[in-house]
Amino acid sequence: MRKITERLMISRALSRREIEELPGRQCRAVVDLRADGEPGTAGLQPWEERAVVTGLGMAYHQVPVGVGTFDGPTVMAVRRILRETDGLVVLHCGTGRRAAALALIHLCCDGQRPLEESVARASAIGLDGREAAGLSAWWREYVVRHGAGGEPAPRGHAWSV
């Protein structure tokens, strides 16, 4: 898990042990970007994760993000959860790349951080285009289009990753 801010951590798929450690870190919510049955996913499956997370008293949100759903309404749903949760949130997917992209969007659009600062942070967390060129270009385009506090594109507009 990587700490992005005092209120946000990102990760790849979580194990039961990692989830069980979250209340000790004052975590309030887990946002899972994986779809049910997503291929190649390590860690607990979303339905298993929901039971463990809620059993420990944290909120669980599943917002499946993938090709075809990496769009304005989906991004806005994640941004809303990150803004409205009081306390630490763990945002994760299978590999951590989608979580990193959405964390960077959150920093720029909701945290009002300059794009240049977030580009440097992207490189530091491994989302610098070498392994995820499409995703790297996508989050930058989103930030340029929406800026600080920006709303998503009109319904039906989607970016490919």
* Calpha distance 2→10 (Å, rounded): 5
Query: pLDDT tens, 45-103?
Result: 999 999 999 999 999 999 999 877 777 889 899 999 999 999 999 999 998 888 988 88
Q: Which of 6-20, 36-50, 68-82, 132-146 has the lowest mean pLDDT?
A: 132-146
Domain that holds residue 15: 2-146
Q: Is residue 131 part of a domain?
A: yes
pLDDT at residue 151 tops 60? no
Q: How many domains does the chain have?
A: 1
Q: Is residue 153 part of a domain?
A: no
Confidence tier at 148 by pLDDT (50, 70, 90): low
State mean pLDDT over 10-37: 96
pTM of the shown model? 0.82
Most confident residue range from 7-11, 55-59, 120-124, 141-145: 55-59
Q: Is residue 152 part of a domain?
A: no
Confidence tier at 152 by pLDDT (50, 70, 90): very low
Q: Is residue 151 part of a domain?
A: no
Q: Is residue 158 part of a domain?
A: no
Most confident residue range from 9-13, 102-106, 113-117, 144-148: 9-13
Q: Is residue 161 part of a domain?
A: no
Confidence tier at 15 by pLDDT (50, 70, 90): very high
Q: Is residue 86 part of a domain?
A: yes
Query: pLDDT tens, 91-131?
Result: 999 988 889 888 888 888 876 667 777 777 767 766 555 54
Q: Is residue 128 part of a domain?
A: yes
Q: CATH no. for residue 97?
A: 3.90.190.10
pLDDT at residue 158 tops 60? no
Whether 90 contacts 31, CB under 8 Å: yes
